[in-house]
């Protein structure tokens, strides 16, 4: 109902009467008034007068009702520990495919390799529950699809040269603007769920603690709408998952990769490898050409570009 009220207030020019709203929506004027009051409480600037309601401004907060048909599957929280934990509980309790958990801030944001992900106000922090029809061996395709589609969405929306860095970071001008963390729950031949967690530095400033990071605000010199970015990315990603079995996703991903043909250093929990990044194979492993000319496949690790 809140989404429908906002739609009408956004399309009509000028003040919209309570009567007109209640007639269009098929609910009482009191019910309209209660929803308007709730919207005002959470930050919408709606002027009320004896003539009706006028929407002056909306907060840049990704509330569920801002997502159209996806709204029933969107869970928004001002603050959580980590969206990964909430998404895992929802997934174990059989929430539907493409359920999305979003947080304004995270107190215990998780990064790859057990690091923390600083999650201050202004960034986008969300986890999507995916129930793919692929065997566990192909699960990394979902990660490659998510990072490539985010890079494409950022390029299209902001005209910036977003690149993917193996395995799934997004860089702009060699600085990290987004990171991806995934969790899978699977049986021998069937994936129950893959949760894709994305942190995007949008209007926050991560550089104080993370010199190698940047944000869209820093790159563009202005604030951008987190709501529009998330809506566009979710539409693009859902569309890609519906349209394709992602068989060629790694091949497509490589067109956006900043890691290939560069000298890189890969740090795993117990090893360090250096060499020329020559390829990413169809399972997502990075292929390094070592100093002695031999090839080494690496399936996880931190990648540093020289």
**Binding residues for ligand BTN (CB under 6 A):** 82-84, 106, 109-112, 115, 117, 125-127, 169, 179-181, 197-199
Phi and psi at residue 258, to the nearest 5°? -95, 0
First to last CA, the chain: 52
**In terms of CB distance, is 62 or 199 closer to ligand BTN?**
199
**In terms of CB distance, is 9 or 150 closer to ligand BTN?**
150
Check: CB of residue 184 under 8 Å from CB of residue 139: yes
**In terms of CB distance, is 110 or 226 closer to ligand BTN?**
110
Write down the least CB distance from residue 115 to ligand BTN, Å: 6
**In terms of CB distance, is 198 or 286 closer to ligand BTN?**
198
Write down the least CB distance from residue 101 to ligand BTN, Å: 8
CA atoms within 13 A on the CB side of 205: 5
Strands 99-106 and 74-80: parallel
* Residue of closest CB approach to ligand BTN: 179
Write down the least CB distance from residue 149 to ligand BTN, Å: 16
Write down the least CB distance from residue 120 to ligand BTN, Å: 12
Check: CB of residue 111 under 8 Å from CB of residue 168: no
Check: CB of residue 288 under 8 Å from CB of residue 264: yes
Reduce the DSSP state of residue 44 to 3 states and report it: coil
Strands annotated E in the chain? 45-49, 52-57, 74-80, 99-106, 124-130, 162-165, 169-172, 175-186, 191-200, 263-267, 272-280, 286-289, 295-298, 302-305
**In terms of CB distance, is 63 or 117 closer to ligand BTN?**
117
Check: CB of residue 223 under 8 Å from CB of residue 232: no
Write down the least CB distance from residue 271 to ligand BTN, Å: 19
Write down the least CB distance from residue 226 to ligand BTN, Å: 13
**In terms of CB distance, is 82 or 214 closer to ligand BTN?**
82
40 CB neighbour count, 10 Å cutoff? 14
**In terms of CB distance, is 132 or 199 closer to ligand BTN?**
199
Check: CB of residue 232 under 8 Å from CB of residue 226: no
Write down the least CB distance from residue 107 to ligand BTN, Å: 10
């Amino acid at each position: 109902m809140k989404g429908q009220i906002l739609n009408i207030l956004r399309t009509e020019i000028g003040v919209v009467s309570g009567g007109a709203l209640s007639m269009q929506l098929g609910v009482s004027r009191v019910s309209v008034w209660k929803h308007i009051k709730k919207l005002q409480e959470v930050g919408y600037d709606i002027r009320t007068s004896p003539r009706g309601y006028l929407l002056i401004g909306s907060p840049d907060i990704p509330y569920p009702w801002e997502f159209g048909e996806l709204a029933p599957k969107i869970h928004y929280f001002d603050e959580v520990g980590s969206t990964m934990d909430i998404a895992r509980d929802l997934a174990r309790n059989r929430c539907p495919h493409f359920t999305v958990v979003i947080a304004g801030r995270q107190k215990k944001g998780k990064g790859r390799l057990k690091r923390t992900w600083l999650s201050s106000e202004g960034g986008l922090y969300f986890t999507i529950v995916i129930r793919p029809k692929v065997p566990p061996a192909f699960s990394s395709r979902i990660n490659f699809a998510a990072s490539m589609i985010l890079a494409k969405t950022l390029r299209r929306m902001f005209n910036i040269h977003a690149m993917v860095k193996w395995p799934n970071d997004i860089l702009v001008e060699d600085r990290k603007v987004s990171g991806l963390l995934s969790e899978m729950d699977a049986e021998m031949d069937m994936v129950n769920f893959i949760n894709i967690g994305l942190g995007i530095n949008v209007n926050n400033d991560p550089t104080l603690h993370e010199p190698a990071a940047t944000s869209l605000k820093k790159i563009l010199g202005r604030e951008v709408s987190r709501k529009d970015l998330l809506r566009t990315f979710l539409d693009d990603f859902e569309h890609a998952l519906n349209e394709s079995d992602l068989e060629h996703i790694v091949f497509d991903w490589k067109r956006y990769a900043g890691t290939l043909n560069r000298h890189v250093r890969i740090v795993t929990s117990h090893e360090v490898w250096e060499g020329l990044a020559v390829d990413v194979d169809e399972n997502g492993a990075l292929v390094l050409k070592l100093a002695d000319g031999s090839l080494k496949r690496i399936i996880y690790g931190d990648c540093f570009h020289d």
